[in-house]
Amino acid sequence: MWHSSLRSKPWRRSYQPGVPGDFEIPDIPITRLLDDAADRYPRKPALIFFGRQISYRDLREAADRFADGLHRLGVRPGDRVALILPNCPQQVIAFYGVLRLGAIAVQHNPLYTEEEMLRQLADCGARVAVVLDRSFATVRAVRSRLRLDHIVVTSLLDFLPASRRIALRLPLVQAQQQRAAITADVPHDPGVVPFKELQQRARRPVGQLPVEPARHLAAILYTGGTEGRPKGAMLTHRNLVANACQQHAWDVDGRPGRDVTLAVLPLFHSFGLMSCLVAPVMTAGAVVLLPRFDGDRVVSAIRKYRPTIFPGVPTLYEQVLDSPRFRPDDLRSLRIFISGAMSLSQGTIDRLERLGAKGLINCYGLTEASPAVTGNPLDGTARNLTVGLPLSMTDAVVVDQDEPTRVLPPGAAGELVVRGPQVFAGYWNAPLATAQTLSKGWLRTGDIAVMDEDGFITILGRMRDMMKVSGFTVFPTEVEKVLRRHPAVHDCAVVGVPDARRGERVIAHVVEHPAYPFSAEELRTHCKRYLSHYKVPAEFRPRTELPRNPLGKIVRQRLRDEFAESAQERMGSAHSGRPTHSA
């Protein structure tokens, strides 16, 4: 489709020396990465969880035992197993155990509501769910409307060292009470099984059941849902192995068996799953698991375990730097900061560099690409206001939004379309959405981007978020960058809403800085100084916080929905004769 435009591949000229343009992708299941690490580094720590270390040999044994337990529950190749867990050893053990059987791991956010949980579990048709105790009530409430045969329940306490229970003020008595409450249903419902009991029942490893890596699914990961209902992206074993290989090739100075990755990003998200689990296991690195983000706890983990790789998002980095416990020398061990999921501001870049941070690279990806697509070089030539260059084995073009067969020249804005071995197999139960997104291996990202002559790509925003005001195009990120330069703006999000006269009008939702309250007129004057008149927000709406997904990305659709709901309420009030209030 766009092959003739890829002859030069300008981005390869900008690669760090030693990064290959192409390489051979091994034809293996993901579990081979764990097997290889356990064979080469059996005693090296694979997981670190609040001080408890699990070696690669023990992790492989635990995954094999869990696979046998699932097999005894009736799980067979192609079956979906729902993982409803935070970052903890059970998440990793269950993930590899499911894949051992040729089954499909389906990741879910353990904080989902009943409605969200029901929708995703019904969509994927999971036969077994592996659930954290705190999410058990939610799953049990919707179980009668699902085909779930078994629920495997676990607790963070199961893998927490006794010393840590005391530190967290969870004495042994309380731990036993919690565990008794979890298992109370087991005698009455044979479909509910404690995680540890399932492993103890195991008799012998089932071994890796045959899979065709390029054809068989390893995981279904639901998209972030920032534009409506999440869709299940189908990722094959080859997709995930390829993306791990691409990340490994990008890191020329990688140190097999020696790197330590700080896993703060949730493993149930594609960014966390790849950067904090699959890729580190490929190089036999240690993974420090943190079940939830807490700035002080992250600083303590950095200080104690001296990680070398820190995948994260800009807001996460800022919160770490804002922690009262943070000291600049805490960053000394880190050689790579993999920043993704949202734009990296110049302010965050400058702040990290002033504190001596090395190896900060802004990257880009999406669930449908396993997820990594681009990255900035690690040799000091990063241009971190861009998202970098297409990774090895990855092609990218920018096309006209209205005429997608026409490739645009460098510097022109259009839709980013990518191709590579990491691109997904399609959406689960959604053939129409698959056909609209995927064509002959090319993925339409839905992101508006610009590629320069050196191959560096800048993301301007989502096509859905782009606004048309009086016929002129407005990108929310451009307006947000200007707003964030004002000292009163702690956080902000810009959306377009329908307007009878102009087509759309720009609305800015602003979280004010606690030390600097703002006025709408003050922000309007500020915006007029840097933006064309049609880009200046028509309204500035104060908020205490912005709606975000688990990675911290702003969910603009929720803001648009809120506006539509408030508009309907105003109309209802007008029709009923009640007084209305302007925004």
pLDDT digits 0-9 by tens, 37-58: 999 999 999 999 999 999 999 9
CB 275 within 8 A of CB 251: no
**pLDDT, mean of residues 180-184:** 53
Average pLDDT of the chain?
Answer: 90
Residue 286 has a CB neighbour count (10 Å cut-off) of 25
Domain ranges of the chain: 56-210, 467-576
**CA triplet 435, 387, 485: central angle to 5 degrees?**
120
Continuous H helices in 20-171: 31-40, 56-72, 89-100, 114-124, 133-142, 162-167
Q: pLDDT tens digit string along 438-474?
A: 999 999 999 999 999 999 999 988 888 888 888 787 8
CB 239 within 8 A of CB 425: yes
**pLDDT value, residue 186:** 44
110-114, 285-289, 344-348, 547-551: least confident range: 547-551
**Does residue 89 have a pLDDT over 90?**
yes
Helices (H) and strands (E) in the chain, counts: 18, 27
* DSSP SS3 for 310: strand
Backbone angles phi, psi at 538, to 5 degrees: -80, -25
Fold of 56-210: Rossmann fold (3.40.50)
Residue 81 CA to residue 72 CA, distance in Å, equals 14
Backbone angles phi, psi at 524, to 5 degrees: -65, -45
Residue 308 DSSP label: S
**pLDDT value, residue 23:** 96
**pLDDT value, residue 582:** 36
Q: Virtual CA dihedral for 433, 435, 441, 442, nearest 10 degrees?
A: -70
What is the gyration radius of the CA atoms in the chain, in angstroms? 24
Q: pLDDT tens digit string along 207-260?
A: 889 999 999 999 999 986 545 577 999 999 999 999 999 999 999 999 999 999
Residue 302 CA to residue 334 CA, distance in Å, equals 9
Continuous H helices in 278-374: 279-282, 295-305, 314-322, 346-354
Fold of 467-576: GMP Synthetase; Chain A, domain 3 (3.30.300)
Element (H, E) at 507: strand 503-512
